[in-house]
Structure 1
Amino acid sequence: MSLESAGPGAEQSGRSGRLSREGGGPLHAQIRDILHRQIVDLALPPGSSLPTEEELQRQFGVSRSVVRQSLAGLSDLGLIRRQRGRGSVVAATPVLRRHVQQAGGLDEQAAAHGQRLRTHVVAIEPSPPPQAGTEALNTANTWKIERVRYLDDLPVAFMRTWVPRDFFPHFTAELLEDTSLLGLMRDHGYHPAGGPRQVQAVSSDADLARVLHISAREPVLLLQGVTRDALGHGLEWFNVWHSPNTVFDVDAQVTSQPGRVSQEHIRRLRNLTQQLESELADLERGPQ
């Protein structure tokens, strides 16, 4: 799956709230993206009612069939509920929370919040990683694994991971489906210990937007890193793109800054050092 940049047409219409009738894509998709953006930005909070089909027709100047296609798209994404007698109501969007300083254990982190993650393997194939991955794993003989993580049927992360084939020659899509990758590593004698990570905001391209059910060029959080075992063997090198409804929790600590040391304090420490050296010398000489 390529992650190349997409054109700005749908992005501009989604941000401005206006339809682009020339080069902006299907009208129903533009309306869906505009309403999607309003929901994500909390202009339409959970439980609130969307405008009626007639109101949306007048607002956007489109037919009822176009409006119904837009609402069906939002319903398929799990963003609205269509209720008889109430029309369309904004659904509560689940939020994935993860600790950026914790390696792995995403399933356990979700379970701690009463949530369950599901994993779907998109592809697995022999493929060398980029140069940074080759250096981190100390090999180019790797599997490239692409997976999508779902939370309450909502896609929340797209994962592209490289693992050494020499360590895990038996990996298949069936084996990895809906299974913890690090758990499989432990089952086969390799115990992940952790490694450096970095998080940055990037713009989603058309392919990534389609996978995560978001707008093209919408900002997402990219987590990159390597996981090693206690002996320093590289077990995985990965890129994980998180949907906008992901919250990274960080346990920040205040670093105490040493104050200015007074000359009196230095003098006392020197006196104490001299006293200790004198007593040690007496002990070394032994009883006279």
Structure 2
Amino acid sequence: MNFAPQESLLSRSSGQPLHAQIRDILHQHIVDQSLVAGTPLPTEEELQKNFGVSRSVVRQALAGLAEERLIHRQRGRGSVVAAAPVLRRHIQQAGGLDQQAAASGQRMATHIHSIQRCTPPREAAKALGVADAWQIERVRSLDSVAVAFMRTWVPYGAFSDFSADLLENASLLSVMRERGFEPVGGPRSVQAVASDRMLAGVLQASVGEPLLLLRGVTRDASGMGLEWFNVWHSPNTIFDVDAQVAPAPSMTAGRISRLRQLASELEAELSQIDVETGGQ
């Protein structure tokens, strides 16, 4: 393995603990994919020597990475980079990412990247029926790894009390329910798009790498638009679809009538043949 961290990467005057600096350096190499899944990390002795720190500092740094589920530590076998978590979601289910993640034994977290009052884009304004909205940007993470970037517009008038603190680590649809709005669902579409620099940085992808973009609107039972959204998913996302075979087309009254007419004509022809042949 070519990765060899050096003591010069540490700042002993910054005030940040050395173990936190080492953790962040290793974390960044994992994010940048200098260390891919399954790659063994340098041994504790190697890290201690390269960084010029004590064994306890190295162990604290590795414990931090293990807590974030970025590495697996195995007694007697060292530490290896963990595989990035896979997000599985049901395309036909509106919302409920937290519950879907929990069903897979994963922890979903939500960080508010930004929230601002704005005039929504034309398509959002049409879907929501408003010209005044919140634009909310959120990062959804599984086990501390970002897996989705969400840009959502919601009507300002109905949710004027929204704030970053209110929505941090909260389900947007659950917060709407608390205010008397019951989300039902709405149309969605999925397409592959190229990652730009911002999305690549957030979702730990390469610039130009394909991402899955989910777009749509969520309405309540009365048809009111509650949210219009774009969600970019990391490359290791799997959309599950419960596909059903279409039932055989039913016979229309016209087809049945036509078949009966044909049967009648056939019966008449057979009767005529019996008369002509004397029933032989």
* Counterpart check, 1:106 vs 2:106: no
Shift of 1:268: 6.9
Partner of 2:231: 240
* Counterpart check, 1:223 vs 2:214: yes
* Counterpart check, 1:122 vs 2:113: yes
- C-alpha distance in 1 between matches for 2:192 and 2:75: 40
Distance 1:91 1:198, change over 3 A: same
Distance 1:257 1:191, change over 3 A: same
- C-alpha distance in 2 between matches for 1:194 and 1:49: 42
Partner of 2:140: 149
- C-alpha distance in 2 between matches for 1:226 and 1:112: 25
Structure whose CA Rg is larger: 2
Partner of 1:178: 169
Q: Secondary structure at the match of 1:121?
A: strand
Partner of 2:17: none
TM-score scaled to structure 1, two decimals? 0.65
1:192-244 superposed Cα distances (whole Å, 9 cap, x missing partner): 11000001111111111111122222111111000011111110000111111
Q: Map residues 35-184 of structure 1 onto 2, 5 A cutoff.
A: 35=34, 39=36, 48-50=38-40, 79-81=70-72, 86=77, 89-184=80-175
Q: Which segments of 5 or more consecutive residues in structure 2 lack a partner in the other structure? A: 1-27, 44-49, 52-61, 262-280
Judge conservation of contact 1:118–1:150 (CA < 8 Å) in 2. Answer: yes
- What amino acid is aligned across from residue 107 of structure 2 in structure 1? R
Judge conservation of contact 2:184–2:218 (CA < 8 Å) in 1. Answer: yes
Distance 1:267 1:235, change over 3 A: same
- What amino acid is aligned across from residue 186 of structure 2 in structure 1? G
Judge conservation of contact 2:30–2:81 (CA < 8 Å) in 1. Answer: no
1:170-209 superposed Cα distances (whole Å, 9 cap, x missing partner): 0011000111100011100111110000011111111111
Task: Determine what percentage of the aligned residue pairs are the same residue.
Answer: 57
1:127-151 superposed Cα distances (whole Å, 9 cap, x missing partner): 1221111110111200000111111
Shift of 1:248: 0.6
Partner of 1:286: none
Across the aligned residues of Structure 1 and Structure 2, the Cα RMSD in angstroms comes to 3.4
TM-score scaled to structure 2, two decimals? 0.67
- What amino acid is aligned across from residue 231 of structure 1 in structure 2? S
Structure with bigger RCO (C-alpha 8 Å, 6+ apart): 1
Shift of 1:255: 1.1
Q: Give the aligned length.
A: 218
